[in-house]
Structure 1
């Protein structure tokens, strides 16, 4: 749980930094005094000892859409004007020898590789669901050495094809794990095929490191089918 929360805070910070909101990293929470981009919290707790003041003092609680990721499901922010948006589970997959990523040559499925430049990243975003590229993820992520954008592609580089599955792998500084986020399946690719390909592709690039993240609902069930185990609850709170 601690590894997953630490990497997730670093990932949120990486995305928010590209939007001019790098925030402040403290001993018990990461917080941003500026509103963060959509889908990204204004604070992430890093310790089960964090209290409401650790997050509320560092964010703009009056801003529409202000949110807090309560990494250890310990906070009660209802008296402070927040409603619980959802609950989820941190997930952890121990390090395993990397399995070969699915290959179109062998199975007819997608080939997993990194997005090659802004044009392929734009196609990755479109497949993920950001049709016009106005969402929180920007091409600046490609220049971040801690970030690897992977897609399961049905066509080769430069031929106009797009991914039918994808994932972002993030290695936070000083964190002995790789965080997975934004995992998706599209255009007829099944969730199980996307999880299998993503796990194999990320494990091949980061051998010897466990994989972490968080999920809920059907995505949590898919993760558990592919070697992950629940590592503890979290909550996301949204200002009224």
Structure 2
């Protein structure tokens, strides 16, 4: 039996530290990452890439003299269901992984990353995740307050790298509109670890507390991840 997670759903507010966690994992030797964190050589599914593609596509349509398809002039989604469309894209990407190799998870982990906000943001996203994902998944919620998320979102912005996983940033008005509230505490019952029922699947979860910030120093981050993922592994094995 593999000693690694098949699927980790990594979620939280924007700039909470999700992408920094993945960047840290990329720089660990496979053996160390497997032994300490239960993460095999991994592939990533991050819906930000499709969000940015939607923005660019609408910009191209507009420049060609046609109407925008999915966003307004400030790149707000015209139809909130686009958020669920993005989950559908995650499902499709995951299907392709399985189609290429039915035994993929014997030696690999898939990391799925996204952010959601609003009164039912995560709950609605979870409801559209496929059973193929949910039956294999654990959840890591990277926890920071809205105020801290807003501060780090401003800090990480780099002009000319708006499409970058590590350096993309949102305007303050979008942060407030989309992410000031979220439903994680409601879904988790305020617990820092356990299992939650999603479409009949009892999905293990753990909260990774990243305030004060741990993702800014590899030594702190490594120790904190080992502790959190160790708890998550024990829950998943029960």
What TM-score bracket applies, with the shorter chain setting the length? under 0.3
Q: When the two structures are superposed, what TM-score results if normalisation uses the length of structure 1? A: 0.26
Counting helix residues as a fraction of each chain, which structure ranks higher? 2
